Amino acid sequence: MTSIASKLRRRLVVQGAQETSFLDNDDIRPLSLKDRSWTQTTYFTFWFSAAATVAGWYSGSAAQSTGLSIWEVVGCQAAGYLLIAIVFVINGRPGAVYHVGYPILNRAAFGVYGAWWPTFNRAVMAIVWNGVNGVQGGQCVYVMLHAIFPGIATIPNRMGQGSALTSGGMIGYVLFWLMICSVLWIRIPKMRILILYVISAVAMLAWTLTLAGGPGPVLSQGSRVHGSEKAWLIVRFVWLFAANCATFASNAADFQRYAKKPNDVILGNLVGFPVADVSVAIVGNIVASTSTVIFGELEWNPIMLLDRIQTENYTSANRAGCFFLALMFAYSALFSSVFENSIPAGNDIAALVPKYISIRRGMFICQVISFAINPWFLLGSASIFIRFLGSYQIFLSAITGILICNYYVVLRGQLNVPDLYTADKSGVYYFTKGWNIRAYIAYLVAVAVNFAGFLGNMGVTVPVGITRFYYFAYPVGLLLSFGVFLLCSLVSKPAHTVPFSEWSEPKNFVRPEEDTENGPVLNGMEPGSSTDVQMENEEKTPKVKEQLA
C-alpha cells in the first residue's frame, strides 16, 4: 500500500514542481518571451469583451431599482470605473514588468507562506463570481431552450424561495456549466466577442425601444429620489461600482503579466476599461428602463426581460429574436467565466498548492466549488446583488493597498525573483518563518475599521453613520492599509528595503534561461541572486531587448 500511495503521489506532482518545495511549478513562474503577446490594442479589446456580460448590463439597472435615473447611474459608473482603472494600472505594474501573477506578488509583501491567505481571499472571490456568471449563462441557455421548447416553462419549480433559477433555469445552468468544463479541457483560444457584443447590444436596444414606443418615454424618466437621499445614493454607487471591480484591481498582475511591453497596459486600461464599461452601462440602463414602459415595472436582468417578452407574446419572430440574443449573451458569459474567473482562480489555487495543482487543475476545482455554493441565491433580487457587490471589498482593498506600498515605496520596484519561489531561510521574503507580520498588521487594521459597516451590509442593524461610512470602504481600506504598512516598515525595516532615493525597477524582466548570452539554462533560479544582476543581464542581451521592443 505504501508503494502504491507513493507512486500516486508522484503522479500527482505537476510539471516543474520540486519534490522538496511547495512553492514552485512551471505555471506560476515568470512568463517566457513567447507568451508575452498582449499589446495596447489587446488590452483595449479585452475590456470590451470582459464588460459585455450580463452582469455588466444589469449592475447599473440594479442601481436604478433604488430610484436613481438612467443618467445619474451612468455618471456614477463612469466615475467609479475611471477611479478603479487608475488602481488597475498602478497595482498591475509589477506584473507587467516581471511577468508574474498576483499570488507571487503576494509573497513579496506577505511572505512566502503568509501569501497563502490573501491568495485564498482572491480565489474565493473568483469562485463566487464564477458561480454568479454561471447562473447568468444558465439563464441565457434557459431562454434559448424556452424559445425552442415551450414546455420547459411549465416544469414545476422546486428551487425554493430566493432562487434566481427556476427548475427549468437549473437545466440551463447545468448545461452551461458542462459547456465551460468542456472548454477548459482544450487549450484556451483567444475569444473575441466585440463584434458579437455590438450586434447583440444594437439589436436588443432597438427592439426594446420599439416595444416601448420610442426613446422619448424611456429617456425622459427622472429619478424617484431627491435631496440628501439622492446625494448619498450617488456617493454610494460611485464607490460601489469601483468596488465592484475590486477583484480586477487586486489581481491586475494576472492580466498585465501578458504584456509585450510594460507600458502597453497603461492606455489599454486607463482608456479601455472605463470606455468599455460605460458604453455597456449606457445600453444596459436604457434597455432596463424600457421595461418600466413595456411592463410597468423595472426588470433589471436583461435575460429575464428577454424571456418575459417572448412569454407574453410567444410568436415565432419573438422566439427567434430571443434565441439569438440569448445565444450572444451566453457566449459573453462563457468568456467571462473562463477568462475573468476560471483562469484567475486557477492561478490562485495553483499558487496555494503548486506542487500538486496546476492552473488547469485549479480551474476545474473552481468549477466544482462554484457549483457547490449554490450561487443562484445571490441573484434573487437587486438588493441581494448589491449587498453581494459591496460585501467583499474590505478584504481586497486592504490587500491591494499593501501590494502597492510594498512595490513602490518599500521595494522601489526591485523584486528578487528567485527568492519568490523558495522557502530557504536566507530568502529575502522569508521574513519571520515565512510570514511578514507588518503586512498582517496593516491588513487587520484596514479590515477592522470597515468591519462594522461590512456587518451592516450583510443585514446586521447598525447606525446610519456606519452605513454611510461604509460607502467609502474601498478607498478607506486601500489608503489605510497603505499607510499602516508603510509605518510598520519604517519602524521595523525589512532586510531588503531599498532607499527611497533609488528606483530599481528593470525595464523588462527576462527569464535567465532566455538570456542566451549570460543566463544559466535554469529550472532553478537560485535564491539570493539579485535584481541588479537581472538588470545588468538585460543590458547585455540586445537580441532579447529587440524581441521586447
Residue matched to cell numbers 503548486: 354
Q: What is the pLDDT of residue 282?
A: 84
What pLDDT is attached to residue 541? 34
Q: Which three-class secondary structure state does DSSP give residue 198?
A: helix
Which pLDDT score, from 0 to 100, does residue 379 have? Answer: 67
Helix ranges restricted to H, 52-193: 54-64, 70-98, 102-110, 116-148, 167-185
C-alpha cell at 354: 503548486
Q: Are 13 and 355 in contact (CB under 8 A)?
A: yes
Give the residue extent of every domain in the chain. 33-381
Burial 469-481 (b: 16+ CB within 10 A, else e): bbbbbbbbbbebb
- List, for residues 469-512, the tens digit of each pLDDT value: 988 999 999 999 999 999 999 999 888 878 877 888 888 888 77
33-381: CATH topology? Hydantoin permease (1.10.4160)
pLDDT tens digits, one per residue of 295-306: 888 777 788 888
> What pLDDT, on the 0 to 100 scale, is given for residue 549?
30
Predicted pLDDT at 542: 34
- Residue 34 to residue 522: CA distance in whole angstroms: 17
Maximum CA extent, the chain: 76
Read off the pTM. 0.82
Q: What is the mean pLDDT of each run of 10 residues along the chain (549 residues)?
A: 60 59 78 86 80 71 77 90 93 94 94 93 86 89 93 89 87 94 70 63 85 78 81 89 84 88 89 87 83 82 86 88 88 82 86 83 92 80 61 87 96 92 89 95 96 84 89 94 96 84 85 58 40 38 32
Q: How far apart are CA 88 and CA 365, in angstroms?
A: 27
